[in-house]
Amino acid sequence: MDITERDFSREVLKCKLPVFACFTTKWCHSCYPTCLSAEELAKDYDGSVKFVRLDIEQSPEVAQRCNVVAVPTILLFQNSQPVKRLLGFQDRQLLRSLLNSATAEEEVQRED
């Protein structure tokens, strides 16, 4: 899901699920394979993780607030807070590991 500054609070900060946020821009060549992997993983984690993409040129205030200085940057949000940051190209296996960890933590919190 592509979002903008106006959607950020509702779609990311107020979301009950972990949120995988990919900060990118149209001219970034290494962003495409990372975002493509994220799109494929979104199908596997549907209902347990929300996936969003923000163009830093379209949403500069969000990028600045989240300290995004390079693209692609992936931030994993849980309970309205960024809990993990990945910079540059990320392979699918590393992204899957990150998501498995986030969903496992979410399960533990629900059980408490």
Other Cβ atoms less than 10 A from the Cβ of 99: the count is 21
Residue among 7, 89, 100 nearest 45 (CA): 100
Predicted pLDDT at 110: 54
Mean pLDDT of 4-32: 93
Beta strand 73-78 pairing with 81-87? antiparallel
For 2-111, CATH number? Answer: 3.40.30.10
Query: pTM of the prediction?
Result: 0.88
Over residues 48-96, the pLDDT tens digits come to 999 999 999 999 999 999 999 999 999 999 999 999 999 988 888 889 9
pLDDT at 111 over 70: no
Residue 30: what pLDDT? Answer: 83
Give the whole-number percent of the chain exceeding pLDDT 70.
93
DSSP 86: E
Partners of 16 in beta bridges: none
The mean pLDDT of the chain is: 89
User: Which amino acid is residue 78, in one-letter code?
Assistant: Q
Tell me the domain boundaries of the chain: 2-111
Which sign does the torsion angle of CA 104, 106, 107, 111 carry? positive
Report whether pLDDT(109) > 80: no
